[in-house]
């Protein structure tokens, strides 16, 4: 799928206790289960986190109670050709007219949204930030009409800040459009890529942490 001479970008957030989590979510914990220095034969860590921690995927069942669960979705849907589109830093919400003007090619199957959200991952310490850029529910209709099957976001939620009722999630997932959230896209330029998205093979059906690797020749 990815050529041997391709340039591969790791757009996944590093998982550690320093990484911020969504409002009310459990903090990431990495605790020693056994340490060689304490007399054990191997170093083993115990990882505790939510299924929607860091870079992660959303299955329809996340917001749609009769929607498909993670293990009902083919792995091929998460990976393949994708298009990265960049928006100016003054865009605070992605509306249909922004998508019209973005030069997204016909036939795009997976769409990655690069916005000013990228700057938030340079904060120290990392924290959940108000005012991040999201996709409006009206723009979701644009996505549906063009047959796009996956949308990726550079923040922990694809909904717009203060968007009512998680409508963007509801409409995307209600139409079986997959969501990839928590991408760090500052080093990625707009254009065509091949996306390798490997989510944990959890039997829990709502979502899972993932490693996302777009590549281009």
Report the residue count for the chain: 217
Judge whether 94 and 87 are in contact, CB under 8 Å.
yes
Q: Read off φ and ψ for residue 160, nearest 5 degrees.
A: -70, 155
Q: Of residues 23, 52, 56, 62, which has the active-site annotation?
A: 62
62 is catalytic: yes
Active-site residue list: 62
């Amino acid at each position: 799928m990815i050529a041997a001479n391709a340039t591969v970008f790791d757009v996944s957030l590093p998982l550690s206790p320093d990484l911020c989590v969504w409002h009310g979510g459990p903090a990431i914990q990495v605790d020693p289960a056994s340490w060689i220095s304490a007399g054990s034969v191997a170093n083993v860590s115990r990882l505790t986190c939510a299924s929607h921690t860091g870079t992660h995927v959303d299955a329809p069942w996340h917001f749609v109670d009769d929607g498909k669960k993670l293990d009902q979705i083919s792995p091929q849907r998460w990976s393949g050709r994708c298009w990265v589109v960049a928006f100016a830093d003054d865009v605070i919400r992605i509306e249909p007219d922004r998508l019209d003007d973005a030069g997204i090619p016909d036939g795009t199957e997976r769409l990655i949204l690069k916005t000013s959200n990228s700057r938030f991952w340079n904060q120290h310490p990392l924290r959940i930030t108000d005012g991040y850029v999201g996709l409006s529910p009206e723009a979701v209709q644009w996505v549906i009409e063009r047959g796009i099957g996956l949308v990726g976001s550079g923040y922990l939620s694809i909904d717009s800040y203060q968007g009512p009722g998680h409508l963007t999630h509801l409409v995307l997932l209600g139409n079986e459009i997959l969501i990839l959230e928590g991408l760090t896209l500052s080093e990625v330029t707009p254009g065509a890529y091949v996306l390798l998205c490997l989510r944990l093979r959890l039997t829990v059906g709502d979502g899972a942490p993932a490693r996302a690797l777009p590549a281009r020749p």
